[in-house]
Structures are given as C-alpha cells and as structure tokens.
C-alpha cells in the first residue's frame, strides 16, 4: 500500500518541485533581456514622464534595458489592452493611472480586458495633486467663494480639460461634492485649456500642479486650493479643498507600474524591489518633485488594495456625473 502511494504521488510532487525551482531560477535571472514599459499615451504627458524617469533609473541600477514604448489611441485603451494580452513573463509592463485603470473602463463600458482582473499591481510610482485656478477677473478668492458664485450662477461657470483625464474628473467630483452646476468644456489637452483659462475664455481649470502653479505665481491665474488631502511642499501657502470647506474631497493623479495578471509572483517581487529601490534614490525623488510628482513606492499588496478602491470610486463619479466619451 505504501509503495503504491509513493508511486502515485511521486510524479506530481516532482513536477511541483521542478516548477517551483524553475520559477525561483527565473526570478533570480530576471531580467535576462530588455524590458518594455508601455505608455498608452503620447510622449510628454505625466504618464510618459513618470515612465521615462523610472525606466532610466531601472536601466542604470539593474544593468538591463528598460525601454519606454508609446502605444497611443482610444483614450489609452490600445496600449492598456496590449499589455493585458501580453505574455505574463515580466518583459512587457504598463505604466497606468486612474484614467486607464478606473475612468476609461467606466466611460466606455465593455472592453476586451478587465483592469481589475487582467493586471498585477507592482508598485504605485507617484502621485500628483491638482491646483484649482481661476481667471483673475472671477470674483472669488477661496473655494467657499467659488461655491457661492457657482450656486448663484448655475451652469454659467466653465472649466476645461481633456475628457476623462484627472483634471476633468476632479472637476466633476467637485461638482458632485459641492452640489454645484458648472459646464465642462472638452479640450484636446491640458495646454489649450489652461491657455483659454488665462485668456478668460473659460472660468477655471483643475490643472496639474507643475502646469498651473507657474501661472498662478505669475499672476496670470488665481490659485484657490490644491486637490490633495494634504498641502504640498512646493506650494505650502495654498490650502487644500478639504480644509476649505469640502472635507470629503480629494482628487490626485496617480501613476503605477503593472504587469499582466499571470506574471509569476517571484518576478513581481523582483520588479517591485528594483522599482522601489530606484524610486527612493534622492535624485529621483528630487527630479519627480520638480515635476509636481511625489514618490510613493509601496508594495504590490498595498498598491493592489489601493487600485481595488479606486476602480469603483471613479466609476461612481463617471456614472453620477453622466460622463460620456467625447
């Protein structure tokens, strides 16, 4: 009987052991060739900038090339789907954001991938608060003034951004939390929107900090508040929206590193260790901060929990605000 049992389970156990040691060996030798980091948007934006800073430092520290590849189109869907359907071997990664992982799926409905199911979280790279800035002619100097004016002029105040991006969604969230009616004006990008805000064609923008802060400091726009939970070190004198009367409000851009879902855990662990090490280099933190990006560099488990909460959170904003692709 004992001999029979040994024969019966010897082969399966041997296969499991071989698989275990093969995975361990793969993780130890990873990466053994260049790694592709897909950015689903055009060069020059926040996702692209974040990916390139990380890729450069990973290349230096790991001794293998990490190459950024821009696969653009369909509000980030093309590049995101490409990674979701790539081989789960650690050699094709995605730098995504709440736009790609939470907002776009809610806006477009059924896609050929599921951001909750088809990706493994590696690490949250960085977060970037937004700045609410208005044209100087607008008679408001604080968030409470803006809310009062919006309620006095329902549907007349305007804000602009690229449809579906964080600046757009931050505005929609503001409308919902403050219970005000403001008109969204779609733009092809953040640059044209902030130019029209400075020109007085639109009332305000919810803009990424490094884009809006110089305009506020130069007097071309008036800063009301930052959208993060805490004040930011680069603009300590500007209050948060939360401390300005809307305690439940928080909206920041976040950027994270993802791999296809079935990527071996040992490879995810190696990627995380290398990425966290690279991001915690002082010069990287300084370079990120100079672009309005604040390094997070957490564990895969921490990032996965965060993403799990972000997907329904932004899906609810999309639904409640009635946001549609434009």
Average pLDDT, the chain: 91
Percent of the chain with pLDDT over 90: 82
- Calpha distance 197→194 (Å, rounded): 5
> Which residues lie below 8 Å from residue 234, measured CB to CB, with a gap of 6+?
209, 213, 289, 292
Q: For the purposes of burial, counting CB atoms within 10 Å of the CB of 205, is it exposed (0-12), middle (13-18) or buried (19 or more)?
A: buried
State residue 225 phi and psi, 5-degree precision: -170, 155
pLDDT in tens, 287-307: 999 888 999 999 999 999 999
pLDDT digit string, tens, across residues 196-224: 999 999 999 999 888 899 999 999 999 99
Q: How far apart are CA 227 and CA 98, in angstroms?
A: 15
Question: What confidence tens digit (pLDDT) does each residue in 233-255 have?
Answer: 888 999 999 999 999 999 999 99
CA dihedral over 229, 283, 302, 168, signed as positive or negative: positive
Predicted pLDDT at 29: 87
pLDDT at 21 over 90: no
pLDDT digits (tens, 9 = 90+) for 108-139: 988 999 999 999 999 999 999 999 999 999 99
Q: 84: buried, middle or exposed (CB in 10 Å: 19+, 13-18, 0-12)?
A: buried
Strands of 135-208 (E only): list them.
158-162, 183-187, 204-208
Domains and CATH numbers, the chain: 10-128+253-321 (3.40.190.150), 129-244 (3.40.190.10)
* pLDDT higher than 60, residue 6: no
Residue 5 has pLDDT above 90, yes or no: no
pLDDT digits (tens, 9 = 90+) for 57-68: 999 999 999 999
Eight-state DSSP code of residue 244: G
Which residues on adjacent β-strands are paired with residue 185? 160
Please state the pTM of the whole predicted model.
0.86
């Amino acid at each position: 009987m004992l001999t029979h049992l040994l024969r019966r389970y010897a082969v399966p156990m041997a296969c499991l052991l071989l698989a275990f040691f093969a995975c361990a060996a793969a993780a130890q030798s990873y990466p053994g060739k260049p790694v592709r980091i897909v950015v689903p948007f055009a060069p020059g934006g926040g996702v692209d900038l974040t990916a390139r800073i990380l890729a450069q430092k990973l290349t230096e520290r790991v001794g293998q090339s990490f190459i950024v590849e821009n696969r653009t189109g369909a509000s980030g869907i093309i590049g995101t789907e490409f990674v979701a359907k790539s081989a789960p071997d650690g050699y094709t990664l995605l730098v995504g954001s709440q736009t790609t992982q939470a907002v776009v799926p809610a806006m477009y409905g059924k896609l050929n991938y599921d951001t909750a199911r088809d990706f493994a979280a590696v690490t949250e790279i960085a977060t970037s608060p937004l700045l609410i800035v208005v044209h100087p002619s607008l008679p408001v100097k604080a968030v409470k003034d803006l809310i009062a004016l919006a309620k006095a002029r329902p549907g007349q105040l305007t804000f602009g951004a690229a449809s579906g991006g964080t600046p757009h969604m931050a505005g929609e969230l503001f409308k919902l939390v403050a219970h005000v009616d403001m008109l969204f004006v779609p733009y092809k990008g953040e640059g044209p929107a902030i130019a029209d805000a400075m020109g007085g064609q639109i009332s305000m923008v919810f803009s990424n900090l490094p884009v809006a802060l110089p305009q506020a400091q130069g007097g071309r726009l008036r800063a009301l508040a930052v959208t993060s939970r805490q004040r930011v070190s680069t603009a300590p004198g500007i209050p948060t929206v939360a401390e300005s009367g809307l305690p439940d409000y928080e909206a920041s851009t976040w950027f994270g590193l993802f791999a296809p879902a079935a990527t071996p855990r040992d490879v995810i662990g190696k990627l995380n260790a290398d990425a966290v090490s690279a991001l915690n280099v002082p010069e990287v933190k300084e370079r990120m901060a100079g672009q309005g990006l604040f390094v997070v560099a957490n564990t895969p488990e921490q990032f996965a929990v965060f993403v799990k909460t972000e997907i329904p959170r932004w899906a609810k904003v999309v639904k409640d605000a009635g946001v549609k692709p434009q």
